[in-house]
Amino acid sequence: MSTAGVTEPVSGPLARDRALLVFCAVAVAFAAVDTYVVVLALPDMMAGVGIPVDELQRAAPIVSGFLLGYVAMLPLIGRIADLRGQVPVLAMSLVLFSIGSLVTAVSYDLPSMVAGRFLQGVGGGGLVPATMSLVAALYPVERRGLPLGLVSAVQEFGSVLGPLFGALVLSFTTWRGIFAINLAGGAVLLVSVTVLARSHRSSGAGREEPATGAARRLPTALTRPVALVLLAVTTGAGLITFIQPSSLQRDLTWGQLFIPYVDGGNRWITPIGVTTIVAFVALSLWCWFLPRALVDLRGWLDHLLAADLLGAALLALTLGGIVLAFATADPEVAVFSPQGPWFLAGSGIALVLLLLHLRRADDPIVPRGALRATPAWGSLVVSFLVGWALIAALVDIPLFARTTTERESQLGAALVLLRFLAALPVGAIVGGWLLRRVNAGVLTAAGMAAAGVSFLVMAQWDATSLDGFASNLPLVLGGFGFGLALAPVNAAILASTDDDAHGLASALVVVARMVGMLVGISALTTIGLRRLYAAQEDDPSLSILELGIVQEHSVFVGAAVAAFAAGVLALVLFARANTRGVDTAEVLHAAG
């Protein structure tokens, strides 16, 4: 089997291939941390762009902007990974993630902050399908279980470490420090992945196209320094435009750089702002006509068009409407936001247009028949339900702790969740390891059954349950169960789709889980609140503590139903998924 940019080895990946995969998995975890890193930093971020703390609804785009970039652009990025190769997409995703981190760190108003978060979402989301596709390229179908389990584990573990990471950074610096660290980490990972990719024994990933036109007449020794100078001017002038250092503004000479050309103009029509724009346009044109200079913009545009840009736009609109409808909702009022019906109506129209487009396009973003196999489309359904149940654990376990035993300690509540999280990567690794011997449907069903049972036990907790050692059992069982199910779901869709659609397939699995999380947390919280109001009406003497427990119990029961449904469907839909094959010893040797 071979995919663009990576050729599958005959006897398993070499050490440098495994090192490349490790760095990719670290990048996935790093981006996953950023998904929820703003949970604790949001009030400070709001103050940084002039939004009062009592107007929290205005800050919703800071969160939904990231989710929109992460979810809506995933299928397009996954498809490009199939066409161009995994490593170039990984590198470009890290570039976008780093740029987004930089823009967020120096943002001065809400639009610039949302733009930075959107770029972070696009870059962070792009790492997931490319890494999953890389696993499919480096490992034959029967050896993918363990590496898929590892990637799944770090992705889910990273997501819930976000708030802890944010709290740690905020303990010694401002919220801008969070994104400065993201920038530094993204740059280090970019260099590491690039170096490892260059030493890859299959040099197809990242090979340069033959120079044409002006590129033939100008040597790289000339074109690259010019590009680097333009990049330095763009970055330097851009940072000054964003930050507007007060010492420079007060200077009689340098202060003229910040005077707008027209009265009432913004910072982008000042001399320094115009310099940034001109340098950026010049850099873009230089890279367009001289692809060897820095970035092959024309080549990337060709791949965007080849990936079916119109279909990708319609799919992004479909997913974007769902994200905005549920990510901006107030669960105390309704499952989705007041504008939710309009967002969902737009999403429905885009879906109809997308289906029509997929029938008529010569090379659609979702290749015809790519998801025809039952395990392929079944993976999306199961992944949606897994996300629906998982978000209940990530949000409501610490919420239950804050309601009962950890009322004064956010850290204590996080440590309760940590018991769940510690078991999740263990389950993911075990699930990947067992794929050699056990059908993916059976494994997924076992994992989700364990998760469902754990939720039912949590639904019996009282105000003092977390003080006892017995509370560890459902937490560990639930985390292990979710982990056990992650690798089989990914393996089922990779084993049931063609090699040239693995990036897209991996992206769709992640999208399904993210949408399930968005819909699930909104629906479950709304159900829980309605149960709370009903209990209060039935018995007005109930205390706030008792009402909070009633609400959390309802959420846990709803999550249990979703978990059991995911397990039953997996048992049926994954029955023919060919994910087994070789001896365990050979698998462990090949997986390192």
SS3 letters for 43-100? HHHHHHCCCCCCCHHHHHHHHHHHHHHHHHCHHHHHHHHHHHCHHHHHHHHHHHHHHH
Note whether 176 and 51 are same-domain residues.
yes
3-state secondary structure at position 2: strand
Q: Which of 182, 209, 236 is the last residue of a domain?
A: 209
Q: Which pLDDT value is given to residue 586? A: 29
Query: Are the CB atoms for 135 and 21 separated by under 8 Å?
Result: yes
Instruction: Give the integer Cα–Cα distance in Å for 374 and 384.
Output: 15
- Report residue 92: phi and psi, to 5°: -65, -35
Q: Which pLDDT value is given to residue 211? A: 47
Q: In angstroms, how far is CA 29 from the centroid of its own chain?
A: 9
Structure tokens given for 401:
């702790």
Give the mean pLDDT per block of 10 residues along the chain (592 residues).
41 63 78 72 80 68 80 82 79 89 90 90 81 73 68 68 75 86 86 72 42 51 82 92 87 86 85 93 89 79 83 86 74 64 89 89 82 89 93 84 79 79 84 84 94 95 88 93 88 82 82 86 81 84 84 91 95 82 30 28
Beta-carbon count within 10 A of 54 CB: 7
Instruction: Give the integer Cα–Cα distance in Å for 276 and 293.
Output: 19
Q: Which of 591, 582, 586 is nearest to 437 (CA)?
A: 582
For 436, left (φ over 0), alpha (ψ -120 to 50), or beta? alpha
Count of residues in the chain: 592
**Is residue 508, in this structure, part of any structural domain at all?**
yes
Note whether 144 and 280 are same-domain residues.
no
CA diameter of the chain: 84
Note whether 343 and 446 are same-domain residues.
no
Beta-carbon count within 10 A of 298 CB: 15
- Report residue 115: phi and psi, to 5°: -60, -40
Note whether 270 and 319 are same-domain residues.
no
Instruction: Give the integer Cα–Cα distance in Å for 89 and 561.
Output: 38
DSSP 7: E
**Is residue 300, in this structure, part of any structural domain at all?**
no
Q: Which of 513, 417, 407 is nearest to 161 (CA)?
A: 417
Note whether 26 and 173 are same-domain residues.
yes
Q: Which of 97, 121, 105 is nearest to 44 (CA)?
A: 105
Q: Are strands 6-7 and 2-3 parallel, antiparallel or unpaired?
A: antiparallel
Q: Which pLDDT value is given to residue 573? A: 92
Beta-carbon count within 10 A of 305 CB: 11
**Is residue 584, in this structure, part of any structural domain at all?**
yes
- Report residue 568: phi and psi, to 5°: -65, -45
Instruction: Please report, for the domain that includes residue 566, its CATH number.
Output: 1.20.1250.20
Q: Which pLDDT value is given to residue 56? A: 61
**Number of domains present in the structure of the chain:** 4
What is this structure's pTM?
Answer: 0.74
Instruction: Give the integer Cα–Cα distance in Å for 537 and 207.
Output: 68
Please, which residues have CB within 8 angstroms of residue 438's CB and are 6 or more apart in sequence? 580
Note whether 219 and 337 are same-domain residues.
no
Structure tokens given for 542:
């109930």
Beta-carbon count within 10 A of 82 CB: 29
Query: Are the CB atoms for 528 and 554 separated by under 8 Å?
Result: yes
Note whether 485 and 408 are same-domain residues.
yes
Note whether 17 and 164 are same-domain residues.
yes
Please, which residues have CB within 8 angstroms of residue 177's CB and are 6 or more apart in sequence? 169, 170
Please, which residues have CB within 8 angstroms of residue 500's CB and are 6 or more apart in sequence? 3, 4, 82, 367
Q: Which pLDDT value is given to residue 278? A: 95
Domain membership of residue 61 as a residue range: 1-209
**Is residue 35, in this structure, part of any structural domain at all?**
yes
Q: Which of 187, 209, 231 is the last residue of a domain?
A: 209
The alpha carbon dihedral of 371, 375, 378, 384 has a sign of: negative
Instruction: Give the integer Cα–Cα distance in Å for 224 and 545.
Output: 64
**Is residue 341, in this structure, part of any structural domain at all?**
yes
**Is residue 306, in this structure, part of any structural domain at all?**
no
Taking CA atoms, 59 is separated from 53, 72, 102, 333, 481, in Å, by 9, 20, 19, 18, 35
**Is residue 357, in this structure, part of any structural domain at all?**
no
Structure tokens given for 130:
């490319």
Note whether 561 and 519 are same-domain residues.
yes
Note whether 284 and 166 are same-domain residues.
no
Structure tokens given for 155:
């992705």
**Is residue 303, in this structure, part of any structural domain at all?**
no
Q: What's the number of CA atoms in the CB half-sphere (13 Å) around residue 426?
A: 12
Q: Which pLDDT value is given to residue 522? A: 79
Structure tokens given for 62:
């800071």
Q: Which pLDDT value is given to residue 396? A: 84
Q: Which of 402, 480, 455, 498 is nearest to 163 (CA)?
A: 402
Q: Which pLDDT value is given to residue 169? A: 81
Please, which residues have CB within 8 angstroms of residue 67's CB and are 6 or more apart in sequence? 35, 121, 323, 327, 514, 518
Q: Which of 153, 175, 209 is the last residue of a domain?
A: 209
Note whether 40 and 158 are same-domain residues.
yes
DSSP for 389-407?
HHHHHHHHHHHHHHHTTTT
Note whether 315 and 379 are same-domain residues.
no
Q: Which pLDDT value is given to residue 207? A: 40
